[in-house]
Structure 1
Amino acid sequence: MSTKRQPSFGLPAGAGAVVVGSFEMSRGGRFDWHEHPVHQLVWCARGVLAVSVGAAVWVLPPPRALWIPAGVVHAVEASLPATMRSAYVRRRSCRIPWTAPTVVAASPLVCELIGFLADPTSTARSRGHAERLLLDVLRPLDSNPIELTLPLDPRARRVADALMSDPADPRTLAAFARTSGACARTLARLFLAETGSTFGQWRAHLRLRAALTHMAARVPVAVVAERVGYRSASAFIASFRRLLGVAPGAYFATAAHGGSSGRDKDG
């Protein structure tokens, strides 16, 4: 994994209300934990990004972007080669009231405005119009992050590491108990106490995060379901809906539908 620190971005004197930075990221590339004195809109123009804030992880394909308020510590990772474009917004120029990370629809208009603001040849007047329009058209989506806290106890951590290496591993806690150094009841207690989730919930979140990476690479849903350990595509789609609130197809098609949540769209 290639890890580097993204600079704590402050807008240069004389710059407008919004400055766009573009970053090419390799597979496994990562900007480690950092924060900015300005607001940040993270958009993945190509590939897929995972943005972490504490134990919460938002996986962003191109149709989705994430608003990160100023001062929120976060990390960004690319599971596939990706192009990240971030719009940095001065706090005094922004009336957006969101005080927590918020997923927004990266509609065609939002994408075009980010691209326009990345062009250094645009005039100050046209940039001003584009900046105001971008902040006006951002629309939040009803989207849950994936909670994936890792257990600290070495016995539970061995189980977590095995599943992170192979999310499709079908073993139960009773089976893991034979090699982890703890009985199934102890492992269940450790996962709940140290991650805040039951073992089943934790594994479902891990599988979902792995699935989103495959789907971003345009792997068919039925194949994705098998790769991450589901017995059928329908079981995978049901789990996806339960955890993220939309079907898989809708999650990757938001921008094409003008920011609709896509709850009535099949996976």
Structure 2
Amino acid sequence: MVRSSCGEAMPGMWRREAGTVVRGAPALSERGTGPFAISAGFRIPHVPTEWTPHAHPLHELVWVRGGTLTSRVGDHIFTVFEGNGLWMPAGVVHSGRATAGAEFHDALFAPDRTPIAFGEPKAIAMTPLLESLLAHLSRTDLDPPARARAESVVFDVIQPSARQFALQLPGDPRIDVIAEALLDDPADGRSLEEWARLLETSERTITRAFRQTTGLSFAQWRQMLRVHRALMLLSEGFDVMTVSETLGYAQPSSFIAAFRRVMGTTPGAFFAAADAAS
């Protein structure tokens, strides 16, 4: 169980930032779609905002601009950044956190009128066309035929993202304490040898447990976790030097190399591409 900076326990999520507003199920779960298949809208949380675990009776697609959204679903943590959205099927319990000032967009889909089948949480490619269509559907003056036409195009163009960026949590009592410590402080630099000594086990046991539960080595998993956290910090405007230090890298070049290994590009190029696409 991860402890927040306020001393509160949060299962498998980042340390809670100072000033975070904690809410229950968002009001969007009560908005519904009326007689239509899709209802869309957006809002801007002016402070870091966290939503406690909840589920919606409708499918939900969320995406952000100028920030990130982190969502915990079961034993996965999804990080939503510009250019990607997250599809949440109806009834799936999840929690979330949006960075301050991010434009938080959402679209609700009535399950009985939605002819697409994403049976599990999935990253969605938020193409300019898809975003434009959903913005169009947020209008309140559309007549039923115009809305029906726009909805049919949404169903045609919505597609999973080529990158399904999710962090698998171990869920294994042999190594959960390691995952919890790193979620609380990604800069924790204790080595595999140090963890084995602390937990009175072997390096081989820890390595095998990470491979079995996450498909990654301990070092790879920690690197992936740090990149998830880096996306949040960079989107909030922190520079590479600050992010590098916050995540425990000795030099910015080491952080940039790690980011490139996971994301396929440097932080600067990644966010420049996101800005160009927006």
- TM-score of Structure 1 vs Structure 2, range by shorter chain: 0.7 to 0.9
Higher mean C-alpha displacement, 203-212 vs 248-257: 248-257
Match of residue 236 from structure 1: 255
Residue 115 of structure 2 corresponds to residue 95 of structure 1 = yes
Residue 88 of structure 2 corresponds to residue 84 of structure 1 = no
Match of residue 261 from structure 1: none
Match of residue 30 from structure 1: 51
Match of residue 18 from structure 1: 38
8 Å Cα contact 2:175/2:206 also seen in 1: yes
8 Å Cα contact 1:6/1:32 also seen in 2: no
Shift of 1:234: 4.6
Q: 1:242 to 1:120 in 2, by over 3 A?
A: same
Residue 80 of structure 2 corresponds to residue 60 of structure 1 = yes
Partner of 1:162, secondary structure, is helix
The one-letter code matched in structure 2 to 1:133 is: V
The one-letter code matched in structure 2 to 1:29 is: E
Q: 1:133 to 1:194 in 2, by over 3 A?
A: closer
CA RMSD of aligned residues (A): 3.4
Match of residue 179 from structure 2: 160
Match of residue 4 from structure 2: none
Partner of 2:142, secondary structure, is coil
Shift of 1:56: 2.4
Residue 237 of structure 2 corresponds to residue 218 of structure 1 = yes
Q: Matched residues in 2 for 1:91 and 1:7: separation? A: 19
Moved over 6 A (4+): none
Residue 203 of structure 2 corresponds to residue 182 of structure 1 = no
8 Å Cα contact 2:52/2:95 also seen in 1: yes
Shift of 1:19: 0.9
Residue 110 of structure 2 corresponds to residue 110 of structure 1 = no
Shift of 1:202: 2.4
Shift of 1:79: 4.3
Match of residue 263 from structure 1: none
Residue 69 of structure 2 corresponds to residue 49 of structure 1 = yes
Work out the percentage of aligned pairs sharing the same amino acid. Answer: 31
8 Å Cα contact 2:82/2:274 also seen in 1: no
Q: Matched residues in 1 for 2:119 and 2:261: separation? A: 25
Partner of 2:248, secondary structure, is coil
Structure 2 unmatched ranges of 5 or more: 1-15, 17-21
Shift of 1:31: 4.0
Q: Matched residues in 1 for 2:196 and 2:99: separation? A: 30
Match of residue 262 from structure 1: none
Residue 137 of structure 2 corresponds to residue 125 of structure 1 = no
Partner of 1:206, secondary structure, is helix
8 Å Cα contact 1:188/1:199 also seen in 2: yes
Residue 60 of structure 2 corresponds to residue 40 of structure 1 = yes
Structure 1 unmatched ranges of 5 or more: 259-267
The one-letter code matched in structure 2 to 1:90 is: A
Partner of 1:29, secondary structure, is strand
The one-letter code matched in structure 1 to 2:51 is: R
The one-letter code matched in structure 2 to 1:34 is: A
Shift of 1:172: 0.9
Task: Tell me the number of residue pairs that the alignment of Structure 1 and Structure 2 aligns.
Answer: 255
Shift of 1:214: 0.9
The one-letter code matched in structure 1 to 2:245 is: E
Q: Matched residues in 1 for 2:63 and 2:171: separation? A: 30
